[in-house]
Structure 1
C-alpha cells in the first residue's frame, strides 16, 4: 500500500526503515534507483545493512544512522519522504523538528498507527495538502495512510478527524475501525459515569467524541 504511493523515479528517504524492505522492493521493481534507509538506532540499522547487502542493492539504497530527517543530506536530492509504522504525533514531531529538509520535498507518504487527527492538523497548518488516503485491514490490525504534497488546504473538523478521502470512500476497513472505536469510547464513558471520582471535563470530551463518531456512522 505504501509502495504504491511512491512515484516512479522518486528519490526517497524511508525514515525508520528497519530492514529496508520498502526501498529494496522499490529498487528491485524498477520504481526508484535511489533511497536513504534511515534509522535512529544501531540495531535496526544493522538489519538494513544486512538486507541491502543480501539483496545486492548497495549502489541504490544507502543505510544511514540519524534521528529522523537528520539522515537527509542536500546532495541526496530527496523529493519523497516515507514515514510508516509510527504514531501520528511522533511523525508530526519528526517533520516539525527539521522543516528545512522539507523545502524540496514533493510528496510525503505517512502511515500513522494512531494520532491521525494531530497529523492531518499539522499538515494543514504547515502548507501540505492531503492528496490521497488509504486504509486496509490485515491480521486484525487496521493500517491507515496519508499522502500529502505541498499546497494549501483547509479541512473541516470532520475531515481532520476521519480523513477527507477515507470519509468519502467509507470502505469496510474504515467502518470497522470506527465501529470498534465507538465501542471503546462507550465503555470509557460508562466506566467514568460509574466512577465517583471521574473528571467531568474528560467525561464531556469523551461524550463529544462519542457523538461525533455516531453522527459520522449514521450518515
Structure 2
C-alpha cells in the first residue's frame, strides 16, 4: 500500500482530524491513518495504541518502514492506556470497532482524557449506544456522515467536549445531525435496514418464546421511525 493512500472510509476519518493535532489512534491495526497524516504534514506527532501483539507488530513495522519512529510512538496497551499525559493529545480516533466496544474503551479510559480532545469515531454498528455515552459525558456531536464501502454502510461521528446536550431517542438512534440533513447515503442505509427489521419483526411475531414482547415493541417503534424518514 502507498503509505499516503487510505481507503475511502479512512480518508473521511482523516478529513476530520484538525491540522496540527497531536493524534492518538487507538486500535490502529497497521497504523495506516497516523502514517498518512504525518506524511501529509497534517499532524506533527501521533501515538498508536494496540492491545493485541499481531496488530501491534504490524503497526510498528509500518511506522518503521516509513521512517517515522521519531514522531509516531507505537505502544502495546489496552485502549486509552496508550495515552500518557506528556503526549498532550488533542484528537483521538477509534475506528473499525463496534459502537459498544468504542463506548467501553472511552468509559474505561476516561481518566486518560483531559477536557479538550476531539473524538473522531467510526463505529461498525452500535451507534446509538455510543451517542448515549457521548451525551452522558458532555460531548456534543459536531459532524456525522454515512458512507458506503465494499457493500457495507459505515458511520463517522465527531464529537467535542463542551456544553451539556440532550438528544431525543430518535436523535440517538439516527444521529442528531443526520436526522436534520437526511443525505442520500443516510436514507439509503436506513431503507436497507428497514427491510431487515421488517423481516426480523415478522419472525418475532411467530416466535413462541417468552420475554420477546419488549423486543417486538422496540423493533416496531424503530420501524415506524425509519418509515417516517422518507414517507412515500
Does structure 1 residue 86 correspond to structure 2 residue 110? no
In the alignment, the residues of structure 2 paired with residue 201 and residue 130 of structure 1 have an alpha-carbon distance, to the nearest angstrom, of: 29
Does structure 1 residue 197 correspond to structure 2 residue 209? yes
Contact kept, 8 Å, 1:81 with 1:105, in 2: the verdict is no
Unaligned 5+ segments in structure 1 are none
Q: What is the aligned partner in structure 2 of residue 214 from structure 1?
A: 227
1:159 Cα deviation after fit: 1.2
In the alignment, the residues of structure 2 paired with residue 164 and residue 67 of structure 1 have an alpha-carbon distance, to the nearest angstrom, of: 30
In the alignment, the residues of structure 2 paired with residue 86 and residue 166 of structure 1 have an alpha-carbon distance, to the nearest angstrom, of: 20
Alignment: residue pair count: 219
In the alignment, the residues of structure 1 paired with residue 95 and residue 116 of structure 2 have an alpha-carbon distance, to the nearest angstrom, of: 17
In the alignment, the residues of structure 1 paired with residue 99 and residue 62 of structure 2 have an alpha-carbon distance, to the nearest angstrom, of: 27
Unaligned 5+ segments in structure 2 are 1-11
1:136 Cα deviation after fit: 0.9
1:166 Cα deviation after fit: 1.4
Q: TM-score, normalised by structure 1?
A: 0.96
Contact kept, 8 Å, 2:178 with 2:186, in 1: the verdict is yes
Does structure 1 residue 180 correspond to structure 2 residue 180? no
In the alignment, the residues of structure 2 paired with residue 174 and residue 26 of structure 1 have an alpha-carbon distance, to the nearest angstrom, of: 27
Alignment of 1:132-147 (within 5 A): 132-147=143-158
In the alignment, the residues of structure 1 paired with residue 116 and residue 82 of structure 2 have an alpha-carbon distance, to the nearest angstrom, of: 14
- The structure 2 residue matched to 1:59, chosen from 53, 70, 75, is 70
1:193 Cα deviation after fit: 1.7
Q: Per the alignment, in what secondary structure is the counterpart of residue 158 of structure 1?
A: helix
Q: Per the alignment, in what secondary structure is the counterpart of residue 137 of structure 1?
A: strand
Q: What is the aligned partner in structure 2 of residue 69 from structure 1?
A: 80
Please give the per-residue CA displacement for 1:7-36, whole angstroms capped at 9, x wherever unaligned.
Answer: 011001100001000000000000011000
Contact kept, 8 Å, 2:145 with 2:186, in 1: the verdict is no
In the alignment, the residues of structure 1 paired with residue 115 and residue 208 of structure 2 have an alpha-carbon distance, to the nearest angstrom, of: 54
In the alignment, the residues of structure 1 paired with residue 38 and residue 114 of structure 2 have an alpha-carbon distance, to the nearest angstrom, of: 25
Q: TM-score, normalised by structure 2?
A: 0.90
1:56 Cα deviation after fit: 1.1
Q: What is the aligned partner in structure 2 of residue 36 from structure 1?
A: 47
Q: What is the aligned partner in structure 2 of residue 99 from structure 1?
A: 110
